[in-house]
């Protein structure tokens, strides 16, 4: 069971926004992390906490200035534009139909590798897990992801167990992965609980009703197992994989 990581100080979290990222995959974790920041600073205090208040910098970041048009047409403006030397304690890569374009985006791959080499935590959900995997930081760690890209990741040798989990934390290698939009809430709360402790995790989980939905599993490093629907998954993989996780030879072409 995971209650807190006392050796890792988290002062900043960046969620990457990009063209055609998913609204749910991007905004849900951003809101949960900003909620955690309100708890750690003392703005939200359902009871008196012994821990001293502290600031947590949580941002939606973008690769370039201007409006980010998300996959369902929502327009948002990032809190800041990434500089090539920016470092955040947690870098979060959401999924979305635009993630396929990030598979060949060398700047994004360098961003992920630079954070990981600096000892920072990398998290990704849905098809954003494919971007994380292609960045070169993954070895044999078990990953989870949306069903639509699971087959493609397995085909490239990545360890995506058939019994997909809502989230999987590889704390030793500092890599967290989450399934599609359904798993984003629980996984983001689990990440908060792990790095900020059980009390903060409990408050955040009550704020977003997470603990009422899936219970104390939010304090574990592996989330609930998903149901398997092989025929449905295959149909969605046939349709979405060319868009979200095209093969390496297609990228080269």
Average pLDDT, the chain: 94
Average pLDDT (30-40) is: 98
Structural domain includes residue 251: no
- When pLDDT is cut at 50, 70 and 90, the band that residue 164 belongs to is very high
Q: What is the pLDDT of residue 7?
A: 58
**Residue 222's CB: how many other CB atoms inside 10 A?**
16
Task: Kindly report whether the global pTM for this prediction surpasses the value 0.75.
Answer: yes
Structural domain includes residue 229: yes
Average pLDDT (165-181) is: 97
Average pLDDT (205-211) is: 97
CATH of residue 25: 3.40.50.880
- When pLDDT is cut at 50, 70 and 90, the band that residue 62 belongs to is very high
DSSP string, 10-29: --EEEEEE-TT--HHHHHHH
Residue 249 has pLDDT above 80, yes or no: no
The range of the structural domain enclosing residue 55 comes to: 12-244
Average pLDDT (95-123) is: 96
Q: Which of the pair, 2 or 11, is modelled with greater confidence?
A: 11
Give percent helix, percent strand, percent coil of the chain, each to the nearest 5.
40, 15, 40
Structural domain includes residue 2: no
Structural domain includes residue 186: yes
Residue 152 has pLDDT above 50, yes or no: yes
Residue 192 CA, distance from chain mean position? 12
Average pLDDT (125-139) is: 97
Comparing 4-18, 75-89, 110-124, 136-150, the range with the smallest average pLDDT is: 4-18
- When pLDDT is cut at 50, 70 and 90, the band that residue 6 belongs to is very low
Tokens 């149901």 sit at which residue?
Answer: 227
Structural domain includes residue 249: no
Q: What is the pLDDT of residue 52?
A: 82
Domain count, the chain: 1
Residue 47 has pLDDT above 90, yes or no: yes
Structural domain includes residue 4: no
Average pLDDT (106-123) is: 96
Structural domain includes residue 39: yes
Tokens 């047409």 sit at which residue?
Answer: 73
Average pLDDT (103-117) is: 96
Which spans in 42-180 are helix H? 99-102, 106-117, 128-134, 147-155
Radius of gyration of the chain (CA): 17
CA distance 20 to 216: 34
Structural domain includes residue 7: no
């Amino acid at each position: 069971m995971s209650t807190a990581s006392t050796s890792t100080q988290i002062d900043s979290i960046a969620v990457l926004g990009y063209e055609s990222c998913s609204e749910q995959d991007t905004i849900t974790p951003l809101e949960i992390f900003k909620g955690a920041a309100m708890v750690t600073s003392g703005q939200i205090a359902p009871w008196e906490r012994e821990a001293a208040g502290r600031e947590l910098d949580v941002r939606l970041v973008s690769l370039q200035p201007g409006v980010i048009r998300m996959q369902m047409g929502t327009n948002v403006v990032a809190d800041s534009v990434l500089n090539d030397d920016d470092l955040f304690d947690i870098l979060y890569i959401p999924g979305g139909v635009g993630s396929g374009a990030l598979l060949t985006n060398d700047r994004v791959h360098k961003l992920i590798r630079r954070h990981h080499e600096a000892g920072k935590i990398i998290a990704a959900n849905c098809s954003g897990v494919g971007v994380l995997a292609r960045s070169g930081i993954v070895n044999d760690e078990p990953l989870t992801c949306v069903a639509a890209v699971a087959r493609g990741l397995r085909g490239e040798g990545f360890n995506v167990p058939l019994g997909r989990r809502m989230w999987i934390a590889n704390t030793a290698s500092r890599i967290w992965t989450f399934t599609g939009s359904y798993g984003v809430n629980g996984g983001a709360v689990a990440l908060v609980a792990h790095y900020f402790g059980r009390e903060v995790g409990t408050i955040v989980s009550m704020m977003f009703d997470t603990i009422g939905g899936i219970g104390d599993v939010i304090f574990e490093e592996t989330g609930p197992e998903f149901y398997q629907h092989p025929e449905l998954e295959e149909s969605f993989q046939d349709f979405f994989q060319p868009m979200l996780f095209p093969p390496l030879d297609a990228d080269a072409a």
